[in-house]
């Protein structure tokens, strides 16, 4: 293998997760040039997906200086190759840009998904399996009426404040926000990482979301902010959890009847209520006070669902 090809292969190893300070990879980068400590630091930052802006901040220098150091380093690593040095340097810079893009995508995904799944999605690896999980849907009651009496900016600020708080509560209970739909939140428990108490976590999360919104309402009352009331539905069942989409756009989702039931429970919950299914009651630890609400018909489903209101 030509030295230039070996160099490209080694950089690809780094891009796929290797450490630039690994002696084996350092040796693979060039049999003739051993990077100095400062250069190894540059390589390590690049391998971790840092762009010029982040590298400049870390090393307390300018982007222009980083570009000069990277170009110089790549030129020294490429010396002795039979092809054009500038061509090899351009190829290595393109690879670095790809690593930065991949890491940027992964960081975005990590903002609402566990890192393991975010990394798999960002790398394009398929993630799909049949699992038992608990699904939570939350929605602001009377939102349309509130929106009519407010400016678009006021609505956006109110929803952003609400959703930010709900995400914190979901993540604190080990769940993942699967998606937003306007003011609605869909969260999943146990679909991404195995969690024996996914049903209990989801119910506790729902109650904590109600309590957190009550806090926001109290804080906002002094500032003239409208109070919000939530309806929340929780259901447990078998779902298909995985990535959907294509190369241009891929995201994580859960599909199945259990999702539809959870959404239906949310739609019939009164303001301030948390409604859960019998399936969730069976899976959750027996520490919740419940009030039977009888059987509910779910749209598009033949049978009914036994529903309970969570009191505490």
Residue 125 has what DSSP assignment?
-
DSSP string, 232-272: EEEEEEEEEEEEEE-SS-EEEEEESHHHHHHHHHHHHPPTT
Q: Per-residue pLDDT tens, the chain, 312 aa: give them.
A: 343 344 444 444 544 444 443 444 444 444 445 556 777 777 777 766 677 778 888 888 888 888 888 777 777 665 655 555 565 556 566 666 655 666 666 666 665 555 556 666 666 655 667 889 999 999 998 887 777 778 888 888 888 889 999 999 999 999 988 888 888 999 999 887 778 899 999 999 999 999 999 999 888 776 667 788 999 999 999 998 877 766 566 667 889 999 999 999 999 999 999 999 999 999 987 778 999 998 888 777 778 899 999 997
Q: How far apart are CA 276 and CA 290, in angstroms?
A: 9
Domains in the chain, CATH or no CATH each? 3-110 (no CATH), 126-310 (3.30.70.1230)
């Amino acid at each position: 293998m030509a030295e230039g090809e070996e160099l490209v292969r080694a950089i690809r190893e780094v891009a796929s997760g290797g450490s630039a300070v690994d002696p084996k990879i350092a040796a693979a980068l060039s049999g003739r040039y051993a990077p100095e400590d400062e250069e190894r630091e540059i390589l390590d930052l690049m391998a971790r997906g840092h762009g010029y802006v982040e590298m400049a901040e870390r090393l307390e220098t300018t982007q222009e200086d980083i570009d000069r150091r990277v170009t110089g380093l790549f030129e020294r690593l490429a010396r002795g190759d039979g092809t054009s040095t500038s061509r090899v340097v351009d190829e290595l810079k393109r690879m670095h840009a790809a690593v930065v893009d991949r890491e940027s995508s992964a960081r975005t995904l990590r903002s609402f998904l566990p890192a393991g799944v975010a990394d798999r999605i960002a790398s394009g690896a398929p993630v799909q399996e049949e699992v038992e999980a608990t699904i939570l849907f939350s929605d602001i009651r009377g939102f349309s009426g509130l929106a009519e009496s407010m400016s678009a900016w006021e609505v956006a600020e109110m929803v952003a404040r609400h959703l930010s708080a709900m995400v914190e509560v979901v993540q604190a209970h080990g769940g993942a926000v699967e998606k937003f739909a306007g003011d609605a939140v869909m969260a999943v428990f146990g679909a991404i990482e195995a969690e024996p108490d996914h049903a209990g976590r989801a119910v506790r999360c729902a109650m904590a979301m109600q309590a957190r919104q009550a806090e926001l309402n109290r804080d906002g009352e002094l500032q003239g902010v409208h109070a919000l009331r939530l309806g929340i539905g929780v259901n447990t069942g078998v779902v298909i959890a995985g990535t959907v989409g294509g190369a241009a756009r891929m995201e994580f989702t859960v599909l199945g009847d259990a999702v539809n039931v959870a959404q239906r429970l949310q739609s019939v919950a009164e303001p301030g209520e948390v409604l859960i299914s019998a399936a969730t009651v069976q899976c959750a630890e027996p520490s919740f006070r419940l009030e039977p609400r009888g059987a509910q018909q779910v749209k598009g489903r033949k049978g009914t669902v036994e529903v309970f209101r969570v009191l505490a």
